[in-house]
Amino acid sequence: MRGEQINSQNIIARSATSVPSPQRRSGGVETVTKLIDVSRCIGCKACQVACSEWNDLRDEVGTCVGEYDNPTDLTPDSWQVMRFNEHENEQGNLEWLIRKDNCMHCAEPGCLEACPAPGAIVQYANGIVDFNSEHCIGCGYCVAGCPFDVPRISKKDSKAYKCTLCSDRVSHGLEPACVKSCPTGSIMFGTKEDMLDLAETRTDFLKGRGFENAGIYDPQGVGGTHVIYVLQHADKPEIYSGLPKDPRISPLVEGWKGIPKPLASVAIGLAAFAGFFHYLAAGPKETPEEEDEEVEKEMRADEERDQELEEKRP
Amino acid sequence: MSEPKPRAKSDPGILRYDAFSRINHWLIAISFVMLVLSGLPFFHPFFWSLTGLFGGPTMTRILHPYIGLFMALFFAIMAIRFFKVSLIKRHDIQWLKQIKDVLSNHDERLPPVGKNNAGQKLVYWIMVLCVPLLLVTGLLIWQPYFADAVPITLRRLAAMGHAYLAFLAIITLIIHIYSGIWVKGSFTAMIRGRVSKPWAKHHHDLWYEEEMDKERRGKEHRGKEYREHEMSNQQHPSMTREEPK
Ligand code: HEM
Ligand code: SF4
Ligand code: SF4
């Protein structure tokens, strides 16, 4: 949601927040999903342009690096990019695999789990994961948390940016801009249920055309996603410019952000209290009086010895 | 002989930390506490309100690494200067085995220790381990400078490592601060630099003996010089009256 967030009251998860967020209006909300049918994409980049257009993004005009990818990677100003891979299949034929790359809107988002700023990342009842940039502090933890390498930190304002799934359009009953712009119907939008059904008919069709490994990419390691793909070769998602095979939140991120943290926080508190109560029980460690007397004796002995030396002097 | 007045009380005591060490220590102490206060909000949202101390959440994120660099610099100086007195000796192991006696203030049962006891040495070694690693891991996740150039797995590892190391360092810091409050006289030692002789004898007997030996040898040395001087100047009896300073 850009600018002032509308009061959606359907926030089912909020970064760095353990108490419930307003979610009264989550009843009967069906989760939405964007279906990207890679087999129908012709790589025209209309969606990429529509994204810039709707979101008022104007990335720098880059240079051609010898392939169609431009820009070659997601940036704070390009929330989606088309990735082109010239794949040689088993028969030695060329397959041009073109994947629209953007945030997957994970059901269990690693970005949200990693984010330390309360409310900088929210998840709505409809499944959209949105960055509320006004609360973002630019720490980059979301980048570490995301299994799909999606968020980008702007050099201009040090805030994290990514695809919003046009949350602003969707909340007003419109489809995302990219969906609207696609000339081949390769991008579709609807409830998750409907999109899975549709994807099913597409994979059946592809299988009938000889793509026996055609399938749906809806990775369960992150609880499923609200952006799903139909792939001709679902057994090898990596060939689609590095789509991860079994994405999940890295165990390093789980180990960093999971249960240890509240425990460690409690331990820090306990350590401070332990000191206080030890003081109550054992009292301060003081230098006993006898030590004064000991040192007194020693000093006196030293002095006497000095005096003797003195007296021996001619 | 008339009643002698107590000497231990009026004695200036022993210099434990010179001015350089003291300033060095407190520069680290202040910046370290600031690091804890500015790091904890990112550690767990429970501490989020601490960002208010540093001018807001984003400002806290910006400041923390710079404070870290400052602290690490002065820590390096102190780590080098305190290296020798922090080496673990046999009596330190014995002292550690009797940690119960330490905690219950049964000091008379403890073996005599040097300038630092095993607890102080452990604080030294834990920090010597933590601070360089905190520096490295901190640099690896530093936005907007280095993080983007670091491979993602290393960045995740560094972020996790930084959090655990910070936890270890914070617990150690709490114990360290508490010891300063608990052991009467040690806080003043780090503020004013000097400790009384009875304090030194009680808490750091071996160090005390060393210092006293130095003092005695100093006196004898001066005495010897004096006598040699005397012998070569026997024709000038007027000089024998005066104590050389
Ligand atoms: C020595 C140099 C240090 C550097 C360069 C450094 C840098 C960083 C950076 C870049 C972050 C990420 C947040 C941000 O961008 O501000 C961070 C987080 C943090 N720092 Fe440091 N830091 C240093 C030392 C310390 C020390 C001494 C402590 C406390 C003992 C500490 C405690 C923390 C904590 C608790 C976090 C949050 C960790 C988390 O993600 O859970 N840091 N530090
Ligand atoms: S793809 Fe990455 S940025 Fe998008 S919701 Fe999942 S974890 Fe977050
Ligand atoms: S950069 Fe912003 S959105 Fe990303 S983790 Fe940090 S505060 Fe959250």
As for the ipTM of the complex, it is 0.91
User: For a substitution probing ligand 2, which of A80, A100, A101, A146 has the most ligand atoms within 8 Å of its CB?
Assistant: A146
* Contacts of residue A249, Cβ cutoff 8 Å, sequence gap at least 6: A108, A110, A113, A145, A147, A222
Could you read off the pLDDT of A36-78 as tens digits, one per residue? 999 999 999 999 999 999 999 999 988 888 889 999 999 999 9
The percent of residues above 90 in pLDDT, for chain A, comes to 83
Question: Which protein residue's CA is at the shortest distance from atom 8 of ligand 1?
Answer: B138
What are A96's two structure tokens? Answer: 């041009």
C-alpha pair distances (Å), A136 with each of A22, A131, B43, B61, B163: 20, 8, 16, 11, 20
Distance A110 CA to ligand 3 centre (A): 11
Average per-residue pLDDT for chain A: 94
Q: b/e string for A295-314 if b means 16 or more Cβ within 10 A?
A: bbebbeeeeeeeeeeeeeee
Q: Do B156 and A252 touch (CB under 8 A)?
A: yes
Q: Is residue A306 one of the residues assigned to a domain?
A: no
What are B145's two structure tokens? Answer: 């400078």
pTM of the model: 0.91
Give the mean pLDDT of A280-306.
89
Q: What integer pLDDT is reported at residue B227 of this predicted model? A: 63
What are A61's two structure tokens? Answer: 């005009």
Give the mean pLDDT of B219-240.
59
CATH of the domain at A113: 3.30.70.20
Give the mean pLDDT of A213-228.
98
Confidence of residue B240 (pLDDT cuts 50, 70, 90): very low
CA triple A244-A246-A247, angle to 5 deg:
65
Q: Is residue A229 one of the residues assigned to a domain?
A: yes
C-alpha pair distances (Å), A120 with each of A141, A142, A161, A295, B181: 11, 10, 11, 64, 40
The ligand that comes nearest to the alpha carbon of residue A145 is 2
The percent of residues above 90 in pLDDT, for chain B, comes to 81
Confidence of residue A304 (pLDDT cuts 50, 70, 90): confident
Interface test with B, best of A139, A146, A250, A276 (most B CBs within 10 A): A139
Q: Is residue A190 one of the residues assigned to a domain?
A: yes
Q: Is the pLDDT assigned to residue A32 strictly greater than 90?
A: yes
- Contact (Cβ atoms closer than 8 angstroms) between residue A137 and residue A147: no
* Contacts of residue B5, Cβ cutoff 8 Å, sequence gap at least 6: none
- Contact (Cβ atoms closer than 8 angstroms) between residue A217 and residue A58: no
Q: Is the pLDDT assigned to residue A283 strictly greater than 70?
A: yes
CA–CA dist B17, B26 (Å, integer) = 12
Is B145 exposed, middle or buried (CB count within 10 Å of its CB: 0-12, 13-18, 19+)?
exposed
Residue closest to B182 by CA, chosen among B119, B125, B92: B119
Measured from CB, residues less than 6 Å from any atom of ligand 1 are: A 139; B 32, 35-36, 39-40, 42-43, 61, 64-65, 68-69, 71-72, 131, 134-135, 138-139, 141-143, 159, 162-163, 166, 169-170
Distance A120 CA to ligand 3 centre (A): 6
Confidence of residue A311 (pLDDT cuts 50, 70, 90): confident
Give the mean pLDDT of B34-45.
97
Q: How far apart are the first and last CA of chain B?
A: 26
CB atoms within 10 A of CB A42: 12
Q: Do B144 and A138 touch (CB under 8 A)?
A: yes
User: For a substitution probing ligand 2, which of A106, A130, A257 has the most ligand atoms within 8 Å of its CB?
Assistant: A106
Q: What integer pLDDT is reported at residue A258 of this predicted model? A: 85
* Contacts of residue B11, Cβ cutoff 8 Å, sequence gap at least 6: A299, B196, B197
Q: Is the pLDDT assigned to residue A229 strictly greater than 90?
A: yes
Question: Which protein residue's CA is at the shortest distance from atom 4 of ligand 2?
Answer: A103
Could you read off the pLDDT of B97-121 as tens digits, one per residue? 999 999 999 999 999 999 999 999 9
Question: How many independent structural domains does chain A possess?
Answer: 1
Q: What integer pLDDT is reported at residue A28 of this predicted model? A: 87
- Contact (Cβ atoms closer than 8 angstroms) between residue A120 and residue A132: yes
Q: How far apart are the first and last CA of chain A?
A: 98
**Active-site positions of B?**
176
Confidence of residue A310 (pLDDT cuts 50, 70, 90): confident
Domain residues for the domain of A9 are 4-239
CA–CA dist B155, B138 (Å, integer) = 10
For chain B, what is the total number of helices (H) and then of strands (E)? 10, 2
User: In chain B, what are the helix, strand and coil shares in percent, each to the nearest 5?
Assistant: 75, 0, 20
Q: b/e string for A138-169 if b means 16 or more Cβ within 10 A?
A: bbbbbbbbbbbebbbbbeeebbbbbbbbbbbb
Interface test with A, best of B160, B173, B183, B227 (most A CBs within 10 A): B160
Q: Is residue A258 one of the residues assigned to a domain?
A: no
Q: Is residue A257 one of the residues assigned to a domain?
A: no
* Contacts of residue A268, Cβ cutoff 8 Å, sequence gap at least 6: B167, B170, B171, B174
Distance A225 CA to ligand 1 centre (A): 32
Is A83 exposed, middle or buried (CB count within 10 Å of its CB: 0-12, 13-18, 19+)?
buried
Give the mean pLDDT of A176-204.
97
Q: Is residue A295 one of the residues assigned to a domain?
A: no
Distance A122 CA to ligand 1 centre (A): 25
User: For a substitution probing ligand 1, which of B162, B164, B175 has the most ligand atoms within 8 Å of its CB?
Assistant: B162
Instruction: Report DSSP state, residue A172.
Output: T
